[in-house]
């Protein structure tokens, strides 16, 4: 039986397979549980220039079909990452993607420039879903204009492949994707968590210390899948699907909608070996269908009956 080539090119960075962790859901300790060298790439938890303590507890709450989190991007800063964390990844074979966040476009640019000069870092994932103090606290990725400004600053500063992580909490996902591509993004990560909340009916208090948080898990997949589909129709750069991927079937759905790769997050908390199971499942699917590689799946959904939203008005 022919083995399927699982490799993928994501904006100049070639991975052995299209499966990687979502930022904030992976750390070095997972190496004690699974063979992390089988992953397509490593994606760090989001790093900020300054030290951050994060949001008040409780920070995580289970909900039907997924979980809510309001972690608040706790960070020990760049120096801690370079001195204490990066050496672990330099000994590994999979490329390292560093996730960064900043409250201003200039701050993003400074981080991008610094990590571009660090040996062992293969790409930068800019988490522009974070609050932007230049836009009254709204996330950069909420609108095309603010997206364009921050991606332009990142592109001018970064010499590495630049992945831009979008927010699903916008009604302008296609326009935001186009703006990111126009200003030099090499790939898009679609998307971060969906804003939500839950309430304890006995205490009548929100279950999260921050009241609201980001929802992830299987329940969000249909929403993010739709966004990947819309972005694929809007841009020509690779898309990395992120939202509710629990198994190979989910990953294949994302590919058919237009993703070239996927990130796995909440599923790893439920089953630490979830990413390995996705990789193995993709290999089995490829062999079963006689696929030489997976590239032909990207955007291959048969949607001839699709009517654009603007045509429905």
Angle (CA) 124-127-132 rounded to 5° is: 130
Enter the tokens of residue 301: 């959904």
Q: How many CA atoms within 13 Å lie on the side-chain side of 126?
A: 41
Q: Is 144 in contact with 179 (CB distance < 8 Å)?
A: yes
Q: Is 150 helix (H, G, I), strand (E, B) or coil?
A: helix
Peptide bond just before 58 cis, omega within 30 deg: yes
| Whether 130 is catalytic | yes
84 contacts: CB under 8 Å, gap ≥ 6: none
Query: Per-residue b/e over 123-152, b at no fewer than 16 CB within 10 Å?
Result: bbbbbbbbebeebeebbbbbbbebbbbbbb
| Secondary structure letter of residue 22 according to DSSP | P
CA distance between the termini of the chain:
50
287 contacts: CB under 8 Å, gap ≥ 6: 1, 2, 3, 4
Residue 3, burial from CB neighbour count under 10 angstroms (0-12, 13-18, 19+): exposed
Query: Per-residue b/e over 265-299, b at no fewer than 16 CB within 10 Å?
Result: bbbbeeeeebbbbbbebbbebbeeeebeebeebbb
Enter the tokens of residue 304: 């001839």
Quickly list DSSP for 261-301.
EEEE-HHHHH-TTHHHHHHHHHHHHHHHTT-SBSGGGTT--
Q: Is 281 in contact with 251 (CB distance < 8 Å)?
A: yes
Catalytic pick among 8, 94, 126, 130: 130
Residue positions annotated with a catalytic role: 130
């Amino acid at each position: 039986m022919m083995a399927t080539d699982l490799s993928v090119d994501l904006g100049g960075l070639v991975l052995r397979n299209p499966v990687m962790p979502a930022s904030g859901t992976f750390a070095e300790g997972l190496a004690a549980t699974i063979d992390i060298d089988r992953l397509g790439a490593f994606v760090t938890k989001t790093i900020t220039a300054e030290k951050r303590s994060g949001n008040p507890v409780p920070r995580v709450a289970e909900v039907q079909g997924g979980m809510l989190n309001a972690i608040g991007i706790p960070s020990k800063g760049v120096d801690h990452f370079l001195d204490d964390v990066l050496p672990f990844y330099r000994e590994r074979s999979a490329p390292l993607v560093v996730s960064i966040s900043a409250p201003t476009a200039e701050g993003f640019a400074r981080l991008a420039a610094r990590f571009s000069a660090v040996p062992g870092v293969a790409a930068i994932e800019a988490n522009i879903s974070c609050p932007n103090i230049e836009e009254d606290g709204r996330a950069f990725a909420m609108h095309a204009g603010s997206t364009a400004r921050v991606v332009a600053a990142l592109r001018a500063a970064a010499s590495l492949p630049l992945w831009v992580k979008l927010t699903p909490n916008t009604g302008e996902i296609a326009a935001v994707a186009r703006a990111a591509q126009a200003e030099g993004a090499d790939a898009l990560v679609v998307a971060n968590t969906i804003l939500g909340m839950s309430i304890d009916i006995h205490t009548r208090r929100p279950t999260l210390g921050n009241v609201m948080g980001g929802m992830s898990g299987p329940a969000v997949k249909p929403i993010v899948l739709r966004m990947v589909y819309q972005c694929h129709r809007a841009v020509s750069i690779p898309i990395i699907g992120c939202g509710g991927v629990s198994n190979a079937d989910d990953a294949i759905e994302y590919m058919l909608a237009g993703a070239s790769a996927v990130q796995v997050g909440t599923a790893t908390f439920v089953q630490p070996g979830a990413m390995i199971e996705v990789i193995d499942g993709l290999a089995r699917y490829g062999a079963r269908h006689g696929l030489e590689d997976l590239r032909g799946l990207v955007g291959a959904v048969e949607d001839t009956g699709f009517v654009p939203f603007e045509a429905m008005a």
